Every structure is written in C-alpha cells, then in structure tokens.
Structure 1
Amino acid sequence: MRPNQLLQAIGVELRMQIMTYLQTDQRAAYKAVIESLAPAKRLRPAFILEKPRAKQAEWLLEQLNTKSNEEVTAQIFQIWLLKGQAQMLITFLDAAEIAHDGKGEVTELPEVIADDKAEAAVAALLAAYPAKQAALYLYMFQQQRPGGWDSITKAIEARPELKLEA
C-alpha cells in the first residue's frame, strides 16, 4: 500500500493526531513541508501558515493525498513514528527480538523474521496500541525492505483489525 493510500486508510482520527503532532511538536518539519508543497499550488507558504491550524491541516492533508506527494507523506509518517511513537517501535522490536539502540533505531534489519517472533511482535503492538496505529507502523515497517517480510505479512493477514482499506 502506497503512503497516500495509507493516509486514507488510517481514518480521520489518526490523520488528525498526526497533523496535531506535527503542528505542535515538530514545528520546523511542519513548516518545511508547507514550504515544499505550497509553491506547487502557486501559493506562498505564509498564506497557508496564516490560516487557523484546522484549515492548515485540511489543506496539507489534501496535498498529501495526491500520488505526486507520496514521498512527503512517507516522510511525515516516519517523523511521527520515529519521533512521536518511539515506544511503539521499541515494543515491536523487542518482541521481534530485533537489536536496536534502546530508542528504536536499528542499524541492520534482519533478512528473515521467524513466524513466531513476527506473531509475538504484532500481538505486543495490538496489546499496547490502537489497531490503526499498529497497522500504520507495520505497513511502514514492511516498506523498509523490498517485499517486506513474509512472516509479518502473515501476522497482519491473520488479524482482520489490521487490514487497512484505501
């Protein structure tokens, strides 16, 4: 599933949670995204940034839904996951027994993740986080390697609550 499809599939509540996080906790990244997208619509970034936050988020989400902005959408997901949801990453990596720096950063991803470890990691995520958040993380994690990991795909497919529809 492509990033702009994921954005649609995660639902309004999680989309707004991500936008609010960017607007409040990652102001520099948020402003940089607006500055990169506004010129494509022949707008000055200041024009967007002067609007109320809700209108800014609405405009930004509209831009992120387009196929041409997939890379920006993926970057926003990565910022939110890596900086705002580090504990989610740690939960998954610990349960999957993937070595990391204690903050969720992995230097080398494994070639294979055993079925039982993938199942345990997915179960740990679902026990601690809402299904859509867990699903977004898993879909993004799968994109870290061409084709993802078969064991994680099986674990996702075994749980209807993790199915995201674009």
Structure 2
Amino acid sequence: MKSHQIIAALSPALKKDITSYLQKETREAFRTALYSVGQQKKLRPQYFQNKSREEQGAWLIEQIKTKTFDGVAEQLLQLWLLKGKVDMLTAFLDATGIQHDGKGQVDDLPEELTTEQVEAGVDAMLKTHPAEEVALYLNLFQLQRPGGWSAISEVLEKRTEVKLG
C-alpha cells in the first residue's frame, strides 16, 4: 500500500484524530502541508483562513488521498507516528529486536525480519493501541524499504485485526 492508499483506507475517526493532532502539536508542519497542497491546486492562502480547523483538516485529508500527494501523505503519517505514537513504535522495535534511538528513530533497517519477530511486535503494540493504528504503522513501515519485508506482508495478510479498509 502507498501512503495515499493508507490514508484512504483509514476510518473517519482516525483521520480526524491524525489531523487534530497535527494541527495542535505540529502546527507549522500542518500549515506547510495545507498551503503546499493548496498552492498546487492553485488556491490562495486566504481560501483556508475562512475555514474552521476541522474543515481545513478534512480538506487536506481529502486531497492527500490521491496519488498526486502521496509524498505529503507519507510525511504527515510519519510525523504523526514519530511525534504522537512513540510508545507504539518503540514497542514494535523492542519486540522485534530492531535497534533505535529510544524515540522510534531507526538508523539501520534490518535486511530480514522473521514472522515470529513481526508477530511479537504486533502483539506488543496491540496491548496498548487500537488495531487500526497498528495496521497503519505496519503498512507505513513496509514503505521504508523497497519491496518491504515478506514477514510483515505475511502477518498483514494473516491477521484480520491489522487489516486496513
């Protein structure tokens, strides 16, 4: 799945949670994404000034569900995960044995992951996080390496609770 497809597959509630978080906690990044997408759509910044925060978030989500804005979708999802879901990321990385900086940032991704490692990571995340957030993370993690990891693909296919859409 590409980032824009991940966004499209999310529930309305999670989309709203993500945009609300980005608007409150990463205000400048949200505004930059909003105006950048708006500029490509030939909209002036004033277009957004008359909209409520909720309307701005809904508009941005609607736009980044398209292939054109896949890069923006990926950046916003990564930002949400790295800033707002550190405990979920570190739970997965710790359970799979992937070295990280304690905040979910990984310098060297492993060449291979076993199904057992991925299962342990999924179980660790599901203890404290909704299945849809876990599914989002797994799908986005797959994009960090060309072709992803076969073990993650296998777990995503096998475990219905971590399927998006």
TM-score, normalised by the number of residues in structure 2: 0.95
Q: Which amino acid aligns with 1:88?
A: M
Deviation, 1:105, is: 1.1
Q: Which residue of 2 aligns with 1:100?
A: 100
Question: What's 1:52 paired with?
Answer: 52
C-alpha displacement of 1:115: 2.1
Q: Any conservation in 1 of the 2:96–2:118 contact (CA below 8 Å)? A: yes
In structure 1, C-alpha distance between the alignment counterparts of 2:42 and 2:158, rounded to whole Å:
46
- The farther-off stretch of 34-43 and 132-141 is 34-43
Matched to 1:160, the amino acid is: T
Aligned CA RMSD, in angstroms, stands at: 1.2
Quote the Cα distance in structure 2 between the aligned partners of 1:99 and 1:72: 27
Identify the residue that residue 10 of structure 1 maps to in structure 2: 10
Match of 1:149 in 2: 149
TM alignment of 1:1-166, pairs within 5 A? 1-165=1-165
Q: Which runs of 5+ in 1 are unaligned?
A: none
Relative distance call for 1:138 and 1:163 in structure 2 (3 A) is same
Letter in 1 for 2:107: T
Report the Cα offset of residue 127 of structure 1: 1.8
4+ aligned runs moved over 6 Å, structure 1: none
Question: 1:56 corresponds to which letter in structure 2?
Answer: Q
Range with bigger deviation, 48-57 or 140-149? 48-57
Cα distance between partner residues in 1 of 2:117 and 2:58 = 39
Is the contact between residue 90 and residue 102 of structure 1 (CA under 8 Å) also seen in structure 2?
yes
Structure 1 residues 75-84 or 60-69, which shifts more? Answer: 60-69
Structure 1: how far apart are the matches of 2:55 and 2:116?
45
How far apart in 2 are the matches of 1:150 and 1:162?
Answer: 16
Aligned counterparts of 1:100 and 1:42: Cα–Cα separation in 2:
41
**Deviation, structure 1 residue 45:** 1.8
Deviates more, 1:43-52 or 1:9-18: 43-52
Q: How many residues are paired up?
A: 165
**C-alpha separation in 1, matches of 2:33 and 2:50:** 15
Bigger shift: residues 116-125 or 39-48 = 39-48
Q: Single out whichever of 151-160 and 104-113 deviates more from structure 2.
A: 151-160
What is the distance in 1 between the residues matched to 2:123 and 2:49? 40
Relative to the length of structure 1, the TM-score reads 0.94
Q: Which amino acid aligns with 2:95?
A: A
Q: 1:49 to 1:26 in 2, by over 3 A?
A: farther
Alignment identity in percent?
44
1:86 CA displacement: 1.0
